[in-house]
Structure 1
Amino acid sequence: MSQIITLGVDGHGIAELSWDDPDRKVNVFSTEAIAQWAALVDELASDTDIRGVLITSGKPSFHAGADLRMVGGFFDMSAEDLWSVMARVKDSLYRLETCGKPVAAAINGHCLGGGFEMALAAHARFAVDDPAIKLGLPEAGLGLMPGFGGTQRLTRLAPWQKVTADMLQGATYDVSEAKSLGLLTDVVPAGALRDAARRWLLDSPNAEQPWMARGYRGPSAAELERHFHALNAGLTRDGVADRPEQRLIAEAVYHGLQMPIEPALRLEVRRFIELTRDPSVRHTLQARFFGKAA
């Protein structure tokens, strides 16, 4: 098996998880990558000599998300087997953000789908100041939905009404908009990316996710009710029956924002599995992706 992710630790105790799949043009969550990622997260979380974690990429782009050929195989898996795959990523990202060590992502290029979900599980995200870089969750454009925590972390970090609408359309952001939404800690020149992230890690030993902080309050039930009443009316008018991914994204956000993060992440996985039980979703993915993949 190729080494897709490497782990190195510097003299300050900062561990670098570097993605650089030697067999692909871009980094993706493949079956092999998921196994390596989960094992490395377990290793660094339990190593008391590690003071912080930096996620980087050795490629021009940061991360392209889930391997869509792997996702194509999800439709033939039992719900139980698919839960095992999805839960392995879900659990590793949750362990990463709750391991008691600061985590930062150094985003040097496009960061999309599951790659952006990984970055959202970090406590800080630094990106290169390049207007060509795209970040976000474009899954709905392929008839899919986020399944690695995106519906829950994105809506807790940024204005939830806006980013919910963006997820429903599969919209992405440039680094300037991502910074204005609170999705990036800072935007820096390319040569300063690693240094900025490492400096933050050393200066932030007690970093935690906003939704883990004492006193955190999400939107009220009344706010959610008002917003989703109007949203659901619009989806029905626009033919939500033909877009099951939109209905399930909306359900995951509506119910998930009323829960603590851990059960909310489980809820998202259940909605993702429900989506893969719909034969029309497979047809949509095949029509929009297969035959176009590099």
Structure 2
Amino acid sequence: MSQIITLTVDADGIADLHWDDPARKVNVFSPEAIDAFEIHVKRIVSDNDIRGVLITSGKKMFHAGADLKMVDGFFDMTAEELWAVFTRIMKSFYTLETCGRPVASAINGHCLGGGFEMALASHARFVVDNPDIKIGLPEAGLGLMPGFGGTQRMTRLAPWQEVTDSMLVGTIYDVEKAHSLGLINEVVPEAKLLKVARDWLLANPQAQQPWMVRGYRGPAAMTGFDRYFHGLNARLSRDGADTHPEQKLIAEAIYHGLQMPIEPALRLEVRRMVELLRNQTVRATLRERFFGQAV
């Protein structure tokens, strides 16, 4: 099996889901990594000796998100092929957060894009106390959108209006800001990161996502929800939604998704992502902004 991700279980039943791709300087979701992640999640679900899962990284950067060369290749796929890829990732994340064991992420460096979406699918996130660490979903800055559940989980965890505005332009946060928004459970010294996260797992065997708790009331039930999105739609139309299709689709995914339970909301996000990746002008934007290729 690929060594991009390994899974080891200690005597207390804590599984270390460890990212450390030997062929890359940073951890990313590549086709091989997606395969490995899916295999390990299936083992987590089926192994009764596992009592908790700790997601860790052997790199200085916790996770950089999706491999952008892979993303560039998505534009050559059919809608059916894209749906198959993204639903695999969506199902793996959803399976992990509903596996019946607590899941925590021990974030030791930058945690961005799909890497942060993976962390959002865990029940708790612990981050090293380092002002240089950046956290968030920068996809819109490349003309893309979150496609691994970010539009749904981030807006359910943090003040939804503020993080919606952030996603629309690809804002990333420092550790202090991410913590103040509720996206991070605790900021800890580097030497204590793994112990604090592991202790949390042992102390919270019944952990679940807030939106899985009976009686949960999401943002769609809050005063001002429709008014905010009516104003946002007007603003996007005024500013030229055609020139920023990622913003329109992010807004649609959030507005409609927050009115649904999480599972259909995640499928809705995938549909919007597939729509975005079928737009070749988006590919041109990605190539120009990231690869420096004028198209």
Partners in 2 of 1:145 and 1:128 — Cα distance?
27
Partners in 1 of 2:220 and 2:111 — Cα distance?
31
Report the CA distance between 1:219 and its aligned residue: 2.3
Report the CA distance between 1:291 and its aligned residue: 4.6
1:216 aligns with 2:216: yes
Q: Which residue type is aligned with residue 226 of structure 1?
A: R
1:68-87 correspondence runs (5 A):
68-87=68-87
- Residues 239-270 of structure 1 show CA distances to partners (whole Å, capped at 9, x for unaligned) of 22100000000000000000000000000000
Counterpart in 2 of 1:180? Answer: 180
Counterpart in 2 of 1:62? Answer: 62
Report the CA distance between 1:45 and its aligned residue: 1.3
1:39-118 correspondence runs (5 A):
39-118=39-118
Partners in 2 of 1:275 and 1:81 — Cα distance?
14
1:281 aligns with 2:282: yes
Counterpart in 2 of 1:166? Answer: 166
Partners in 1 of 2:127 and 2:218 — Cα distance?
27
Structure 2: tracts of 5 or more residues without a match: none
Partners in 2 of 1:18 and 1:276 — Cα distance?
30
Structure 1: tracts of 5 or more residues without a match: none
1:11 aligns with 2:11: yes
TM, length-normalised to structure 1 = 0.98
Q: Which residue type is aligned with residue 176 of structure 1?
A: E
Report the CA distance between 1:200 and its aligned residue: 0.1
Partners in 1 of 2:80 and 2:235 — Cα distance?
34
- Residues 4-56 of structure 1 show CA distances to partners (whole Å, capped at 9, x for unaligned) of 00000011000000000001110000000000000000101111110000000
Number of residue pairs matched? Answer: 292
Report the CA distance between 1:289 and its aligned residue: 1.1
Partners in 2 of 1:2 and 1:11 — Cα distance?
24
Report the CA distance between 1:223 and its aligned residue: 3.0
- Residues 80-127 of structure 1 show CA distances to partners (whole Å, capped at 9, x for unaligned) of 111111111100000000000000000000000000000000000000
- Residues 105-159 of structure 1 show CA distances to partners (whole Å, capped at 9, x for unaligned) of 0000000000000000000000000000000000000000000000000000000
The 8 Å contact of residues 127 and 175 in structure 1, kept in 2 or not, is answered as: yes
The 8 Å contact of residues 134 and 173 in structure 2, kept in 1 or not, is answered as: yes
What is the aligned-residue RMSD (CA, Å)?
1.1
Counterpart in 2 of 1:242? Answer: 243
Partners in 1 of 2:234 and 2:128 — Cα distance?
39
- Residues 159-212 of structure 1 show CA distances to partners (whole Å, capped at 9, x for unaligned) of 000000000010001110111000011000000000000000000000000000
SS at match of 2:144: coil
Partners in 2 of 1:217 and 1:49 — Cα distance?
34
Larger displacement relative to structure 2 (21-30 or 224-233) = 224-233
Partners in 1 of 2:62 and 2:193 — Cα distance?
12
Counterpart in 2 of 1:257? Answer: 258
